Structure 1
Amino acid sequence: MFIADGMQARVLDPGQECKTPTIDGLISRGVRVTRAHTPLPTCSPARASLMTGLLPHNHGVLEVEHGVDADQCVLRTEHPHWAQRLRDSGYATGYFGKWHVERTGELEPFGWNTFDIRGARDHANASQKGLAADDSMDPDTVRFYEGPDGYNDTLKYAVTDVTPNDRAIGGPAGLACEWLDDRREDPWCCVVSYYEPNESLIVGREAYELYDVDSLELPKNLKDDLSDRPNIYRRDQQIWNDVSDDEWRQILACYYGRITELDGQVKRVLDKLEATGQLDNTVVIFTADHGRYVGSHGLEAHNFGAFEEIYNVPLVVAGPGVAEGITTDALVGFHEIGQTILEVAGENPIDVPDSASFADLLADPVAAADNHREAYAEYFGSRFRLTQRVLWQDEWKFVFNGFDFDELYNVKADPWEMENLIDRPEHADRIREMMAGIWRRMHETGDTTLLNSHYHSMRFAAVGPNSGQ
């Protein structure tokens, strides 16, 4: 399993400008799920959900673990991880690259016999302080996020002459390839995990020059004024108001270039599997913990907003028992991947109500599509506290915002989410039904904080908690 960081699902759509020949090859021989969603669009909560099959309110990691005090965002260790199940049944397990699930950095208790997450803590510390430019970077391409006074200047993007294999992006694949050399006879599970394409957009010249910066298409919702969305979205948008169209194209070129470099790292591992005769007997998964705006809605990063650019993540699966060359718009959760791995491996699932396997969808996407018509996510804020719950039902998406007014989108008719339908009277019944659906999810998964909001000054929702029972 390859786990990217901060990668939009949309970049894999046919006709998109981002070049991903290796991942495209996986799509052609497997299943692409176009509507996979992260349970929370921030690294640590999403990755903890991936490992446990739990929603964040149940595993305890509600935001990035390195950004809060040591007694906050602590992973609840009483819950089993799917990797433990595989290890205990005889699988060799290896994890290489970004972890960002909990603080110890000791992965063996969580099911990983072999692990190497070197550089993870250094990277987290550097991202807090602001990454610096170095002599390998073309000075004409180096740009920083600057000001206001009192904030660290943070590297925005840069082009470097150092090749991917000699930069941090090359580390996880190299470690995985070494480990796979010794795994030819035994069943195994390997995770290759990345910081890319998130954080500062440092890209190698070769990948960068694949893109004609001046001709790159800007997001169709770049100029969204967010006038009918929560005010905090507009406050965040103000940070990016001085970014010109030309600079957005520069950002996109570096973002796409990093994804192209990541695609090359996937190829390194697949080539190793093919060279060792293991590719045809290996299930390969490519996904990401969350997306990134890169100009969509006039925003960057992934800290505010409930838009598809940060919730919708890439998901491609190929290998034995998986249908070939099919794209499905069924709804699944990033946190359900572990349950799916267990079923594919013939193991018992983790007994939790938060997630379920979608192995049936991989085997027969057409027949199983109706089993996967709803998805759910939650958000607690990142440094700045706020409450969101998100429900997808077919083409409809409802966002409950405990801090502001709600959102309703038809993502089929309005894929760029430019029109909030929440105040349209013709959708009043749908809003009540979808809010009841959110309460139902809370009851099923024990989301007690919001279930205990009967107090009269907290009655913000269209219908109350009892409607979900």
Structure 2
Amino acid sequence: MGRPNILTFIADGMQARVLDPGQECKTPTIDGLISRGVRVTRAHTPLPTCSPARASLMTGLLPHNHGVLEVEHGVDADQCVLRTEHPHWAQRLRDSGYATGYFGKWHVERTGELEPFGWNTFDIRGARDHANASQKGLAADDSMDPDTVRFYEGPDGYNDTLKYAVTDVTPNDRAIGGPAGLACEWLDDRREDPWCCVVSYYEPNESLIVGREAYELYDVDSLELPKNLKDDLSDRPNIYRRDQQIWNDVSDDEWRQILACYYGRITELDGQVKRVLDKLEATGQLDNTVVIFTADHGRYVGSHGLEAHNFGAFEEIYNVPLVVAGPGVAEGITTDALVGFHEIGQTILEVAGENPIDVPDSASFADLLADPVAAADNHREAYAEYFGSRFRLTQRVLWQDEWKFVFNGFDFDELYNVKADPWEMENLIDRPEHADRIREMMAGIWRRMHETGDTTLLNSHYHSMRFAAVGPNSGQ
């Protein structure tokens, strides 16, 4: 066999935790990938919002370097602009002879023209138009079960927005069926040159419209609520509690409905992954294909009494699923090594035999895929950043082994031991026995900012900006 084919599935807003053994979410296809590949349980997005995360995936850069700090459709045209001088890994694959195809959600920049970024064939408008039309159509017709339709309502002046619902329309006739269908058509013509294909989804992110067949796989009344649902957030920044108030009127029964719709959408997504893998098997291409399954960010779905994403620094939105299987990848191993979503592109380049993009922001973790046990110590730190999602809430997050430190420029900081406290219920920031660790981890954040040229906070020597435990010079 020559160079491997590379197939990447990107979900939108999927918690990593749903893939844990014993969880209630049903994902037989992804479970099969785990059994014949490597699952990385501590992969983290560099920023828990669609556009910044996806731009980081394409460039290997942290958001402050590629320029996309918020969702590209939510701000003026001269804001949140992808800096085009930086190379994309798809360009390198195409230039080296790979056929490249991208199908489904893009949400990286505004032009929607992917050829300059390395994609020979792409269809994002078809999937997007199908998504918009199908969701609007579902909301307008009588295909949804009225007993399971819930809208966001109020306060006065806000639009009522569909939250979750059950429909009789099958997945292949809804938005979720678009990307897999497009990819399967493209893969039918791939036989000789190596190829790289991305199949990208709007699911399981909102609105949580799910087909009845998937929904009824779950016993709604018996679904386990998140262990941190009743977290009062009393020792966390006040703005977390302000956001939590939005969800105060959601009852436990409604949270279970939300979970059933969310899990059902993931089960439907799992079925779409199967469609593409079945196509590869039928055309004899599966054995020479490295398959990657991941997501741009997670989602709360009731954890800490919160919903949605892009707010706060909890694992439910930063920790993303990552499963890799195929030639050169170890089989049936789960690792807790720390890697970044934005490092997937560097890894793809190494797997394809290409040179990495020369940036300090990311590095390949192909060594971890080949031998997860031997390479684990090479991956013991991770880093992320947050710029506020239109509300200016500066955060930086550093993981070192089991420790997680959150610098909050707008309030007091956070420190968690995510091994002893996986649901992040206790903020240890005020414990005097952790003072040295806090200073060391803050210095680690400054080090990351120096290394990657993040000038956002490096010039914070002014008297009124001395919020950190130690200052910028400590990272040099």
Instruction: Check whether TM > 0.5.
Output: yes
How far has the Cα of 1:87 moved from its partner?
0.2
Structure 1 pair 454–414 and aligned structure 2 pair: CA distance change class (3 A): same
Structure 1: 5+ residue runs without aligned partners? none
Q: Where do residues 173-322 of structure 1 align in structure 2 (5 Å cutoff)?
A: 173-322=180-329
The SS at the match of 2:10 is strand
Residue in structure 2 matched with residue 392 of structure 1 by the alignment: 399
Deviation string 1:194-235 (CA, Å, 9 cap, x unpaired) is 000001100000000000000000000000000000111000
Q: Work out whether residues 133 and 155 of structure 1, in 8 Å CA contact, stay in contact via their aligned partners in 2.
A: no
The SS at the match of 1:367 is helix
Q: Work out whether residues 293 and 310 of structure 1, in 8 Å CA contact, stay in contact via their aligned partners in 2.
A: yes
Distance 1:107 1:201 in 2: 28
Deviation string 1:351-408 (CA, Å, 9 cap, x unpaired) is 0000000000000000000000000000001121110000000000000000000000
Q: Work out whether residues 103 and 127 of structure 2, in 8 Å CA contact, stay in contact via their aligned partners in 1.
A: no
Q: Work out whether residues 84 and 110 of structure 1, in 8 Å CA contact, stay in contact via their aligned partners in 2.
A: yes
The SS at the match of 1:159 is strand
Q: Work out whether residues 301 and 307 of structure 2, in 8 Å CA contact, stay in contact via their aligned partners in 1.
A: yes
Q: Work out whether residues 18 and 24 of structure 2, in 8 Å CA contact, stay in contact via their aligned partners in 1.
A: yes
How far has the Cα of 1:118 moved from its partner?
2.0
How far has the Cα of 1:142 moved from its partner?
1.1
How far has the Cα of 1:69 moved from its partner?
0.1
Q: Work out whether residues 87 and 111 of structure 1, in 8 Å CA contact, stay in contact via their aligned partners in 2.
A: yes
Q: Work out whether residues 131 and 174 of structure 2, in 8 Å CA contact, stay in contact via their aligned partners in 1.
A: no
Distance 1:130 1:38 in 2: 33
Q: Work out whether residues 127 and 199 of structure 1, in 8 Å CA contact, stay in contact via their aligned partners in 2.
A: no
Q: TM-score, normalised by structure 2?
A: 0.96
The SS at the match of 1:427 is helix
The SS at the match of 1:408 is strand
The SS at the match of 2:386 is strand
How far has the Cα of 1:100 moved from its partner?
0.1
Q: Which moved more, 1:140-149 or 1:345-354?
A: 140-149
The SS at the match of 2:394 is strand
How far has the Cα of 1:449 moved from its partner?
1.6
Structure 1 pair 110–353 and aligned structure 2 pair: CA distance change class (3 A): same
How far has the Cα of 1:141 moved from its partner?
1.4
Distance 1:73 1:131 in 2: 32
Deviation string 1:235-261 (CA, Å, 9 cap, x unpaired) is 000000000000000000000000000
How far has the Cα of 1:135 moved from its partner?
2.0
Distance 1:259 1:132 in 2: 20
Q: TM-score, normalised by structure 1?
A: 0.98
How far has the Cα of 1:130 moved from its partner?
13
Distance 2:164 2:447 in 1: 43
Residue in structure 2 matched with residue 130 of structure 1 by the alignment: 137
How far has the Cα of 1:134 moved from its partner?
2.9
Structure 1 pair 361–395 and aligned structure 2 pair: CA distance change class (3 A): same
Q: Work out whether residues 131 and 175 of structure 2, in 8 Å CA contact, stay in contact via their aligned partners in 1.
A: no
Distance 1:291 1:58 in 2: 22
Q: Work out whether residues 54 and 354 of structure 1, in 8 Å CA contact, stay in contact via their aligned partners in 2.
A: yes
Q: Work out whether residues 127 and 178 of structure 2, in 8 Å CA contact, stay in contact via their aligned partners in 1.
A: no
Distance 2:260 2:445 in 1: 38
Deviation string 1:330-370 (CA, Å, 9 cap, x unpaired) is 00000000000000000000000000000000000000000
The SS at the match of 1:65 is coil
Q: Which moved more, 1:181-190 or 1:308-317?
A: 181-190
Q: Are 1:10 and 2:24 an aligned pair?
A: no
Deviation string 1:94-143 (CA, Å, 9 cap, x unpaired) is 00000000000000000000000025665898999999453221122111
Q: Work out whether residues 127 and 175 of structure 2, in 8 Å CA contact, stay in contact via their aligned partners in 1.
A: no
Structure 1 pair 130–242 and aligned structure 2 pair: CA distance change class (3 A): farther
Q: Work out whether residues 204 and 266 of structure 2, in 8 Å CA contact, stay in contact via their aligned partners in 1.
A: yes
Q: Work out whether residues 31 and 316 of structure 1, in 8 Å CA contact, stay in contact via their aligned partners in 2.
A: yes
Distance 1:304 1:22 in 2: 30
Give the % identical residues.
100
Deviation string 1:423-466 (CA, Å, 9 cap, x unpaired) is 00000000000000000000000001200111111000000000
Distance 1:453 1:130 in 2: 50
The SS at the match of 2:53 is helix
